[in-house]
Chains A and B, each alone.
Chain A
Amino acid sequence: MNPITGGLEEVLRHLGLAPGLRPLGAFVLLSAVVAAAMFGVVSLAVRRRWMSRTTAAFWLFVSPWMFGFAVFTFGPMVYSLWLSFLNWDLVSPSRFAGLGNYQKAAADPLVRQAIKVTLVYAVVSVPLQTALSLGVALLMNTDIRGINVFRTVWYLPSLVTGVAQVTLFLWVFNPNYGLVNGMLHAVGVDGPAWFQDPSWALPAVIIMSLWTVGGNMVIYLAGLQDVPIELYEAASIDGAGPARRLWSITIPQVSPVIFFNVVTGLIAAMQIFTQAFVIKSAGGAPANSLLFFVYYLYQNAFQFFQMGYASALAWILLLMILALTLLVFRGSAFWVYYESANPKASRRRPRVR
């Protein structure tokens, strides 16, 4: 515990605050000091006419986010960068290690395995999810009856996420009694051991991720319904068939939505953790077959207590995600279509609802 926190808690103890609330009380007191300082500076600036009242109002309105950003994001990031140059186990005094942690990571075969597993997961699962959710959305984008029933059925599984989903799929992929191998057995195929088999564990996690594409599908469906109907009419008059209309109208029109989903999907996929944790603690994922990067980071930080090394890994993850995002952004110029880029195409008539 920090001496300032300790002192504040001591004061709160004298004031008779319940023990469980003392840490919160100390935090609130510290934040109040910051808030009062900021309020003081702003009101002084307004009184001295350095700042208009409107500008002051803006800064006060965004100040909660700025405080949270400074305390829980930016400050920790700077601190984490500093930590990544140290060797520290939380107990003994820290030692400066220079680039030692990064050199260690470069030589660590487990880091290589973690990067491989995570990248394969991200690069395989995200396109599959995109294809599946877009495909289903296309099928639903015809005016058929009962569309709401279909939409609900496809959306419901995406509510079963996290630990509950893994618990269910541990059983779905159970080698002996599971749903998948039961089905395969019915058609005369002997299924693999899935989570228990080093070469099938990752494919099983990818298949599992496809079950929760409902959220993306709903987004695509909304995007598809926004495509102006005149474009299809004009194309039909010009003699374009269904495949041609799909390729030349539908896909370009929803490409910004695809782009959004691919970027957010990749970032999320690089941070996969819960699946590995639960499968591992249930005795699956042999031979580091599900050693996702964040799981390895977690192990280093909170099982081996190598805070410096874990921070270096965190920064490596950040750089990998930035590089991947940048790559997708760069590539997007070739396939993402924005209306404003082409003034002729943006002459969209206002839609009457």
Chain B
Amino acid sequence: MGKATNIVVLTIGSLVFAYPFLWMIATSLRTRQGVASGGISLWPIQWQFNNYTSGLASFPFFTYLTNSLLTTLIPVVGSVLVSSLVGFGFARIPARGSGLLFGIVLATMLLPQEVTLVPQFILFRSLDMMDTLYPIILPFMFGMPFFIFLFRQFYMRLPASLTDAAVVDGAGWFRIWRSIYLPLSQPILVAAAVLQFMSSWNNFLTPTIFIQSDRWKTLPMALAGFTSVNRTDTSLLMATSIIVVLPCVLIFFLAQRHIIGGISFTGTK
């Protein structure tokens, strides 16, 4: 197959892939009449930018945004830092049983989260944490198996002499981690933070189970509620979806290099 054929196939494919995305943006800018008559075209016909403002005004957006940010940023910081610490322990501190324990860490990656759903519900109920944000935050504060794996692999590749010099120097393990290994693992820190951001920001199952009142609902929950109520007002729906997706897209463009590098590292190494 020639290079030209490749480019033609890729271009057609890219158009097919980009079309729903562009159409979403076009629809979000239409009036109600425009949605019905616009059909599959990408041009809004009648421009209406205030779909965004009315989309935001139709529900307590800033409450939901605050909840989403809390349940995303705290797990991002917590899971990344703790995973780095644990990964360092597995990679650099020799101890008997370390390999076996790391095997358990890997095995938990295969476990479906749903097995713990009912008992976690009962656990958080007895901790008096129903209808709060705690059940969506706390489980992420003790390290994620996948990130522990990533950090361990990364630290194993760093030269062991880094640790030896510091040990001779009399530095404790914690200081070695904090002042040498943690700063060196910046690519994994960024990749893990982005992955955790995407998964927490879009998390839907756990908030649905633990949160009932509007006061603590997150943006995906709000959008899901919005979808079932405002089924007919498509332009408002699309505007709201775009607002929900926007942070992920922004982060992607800001950290594109790290994300692509991080994803490749996670999948191939």
Query: Does A41 interact with chain B (Cβ within 8 Å)?
Result: no
Nearest-neighbour CB distance to chain B for A73, whole angstroms, equals: 6
Q: Is the CB of B112 within 8 A of A1?
A: no
Given A61-B89, A68-B139, A267-B110, A274 contacting B249 (CB threshold 8 A): no
**Contact residues of A with B, CB < 8 Å?**
1-2, 5-6, 9, 20, 22-24, 26-27, 54-55, 57-62, 64-65, 67-69, 71-73, 75-77, 79-80, 83, 90, 136, 139-140, 142, 144, 150-157, 159-164, 166-172, 177, 179, 182-183, 186, 211, 215-216, 218-223, 226, 242, 256-257, 260-261, 267, 270-271, 273-274, 277-278, 281-283, 294, 297-298, 301-302, 307, 310-311, 314-315, 317-318, 321-322, 325
Q: Is the CB of A76 within 8 A of B126?
A: no
Q: Is the CB of A223 within 8 A of B268?
A: yes
Q: Is the CB of B205 within 8 A of A54?
A: no
Contacting residue for A302 out of B19, B132, B209, B245, CB 8 A: B209
Q: Is the CB of A83 within 8 A of B85?
A: no
Q: Is the CB of A57 within 8 A of B90?
A: no
Find chain B residues with CB under 8 A from A155 CB. 252, 260
Nearest-neighbour CB distance to chain B for A204, whole angstroms, equals: 13
Contacting residue for B21 out of A83, A139, A160, CB 8 A: A160
Q: Is the CB of B260 within 8 A of A151?
A: yes
Q: Is the CB of A1 within 8 A of B94?
A: no
Q: Is the CB of A277 within 8 A of B19?
A: no
Find chain B residues with CB under 8 A from A71 CB. 123, 142
Q: How far, in angstroms, from A116 to B32 measured CA to CA in the complex? A: 40
Q: Using C-beta atoms within 8 Å of the partner chain, give the interface range for chain B.
A: 35 or more
Find chain B residues with CB under 8 A from A161 CB. 198, 202
Could you jot down 13 A-B contacts, CB within 8 Å? Answer: A58-B95, A58-B98, A76-B116, A140-B10, A150-B14, A167-B240, A168-B24, A171-B237, A179-B40, A260-B267, A278-B224, A297-B114, A298-B209
Find chain A residues with CB under 8 A from B204 CB. 162-163, 273-274, 277
Nearest-neighbour CB distance to chain B for A147, whole angstroms, equals: 9
Find chain A residues with CB under 8 A from B101 CB. 62
Find chain B residues with CB under 8 A from A68 CB. 139, 141-143
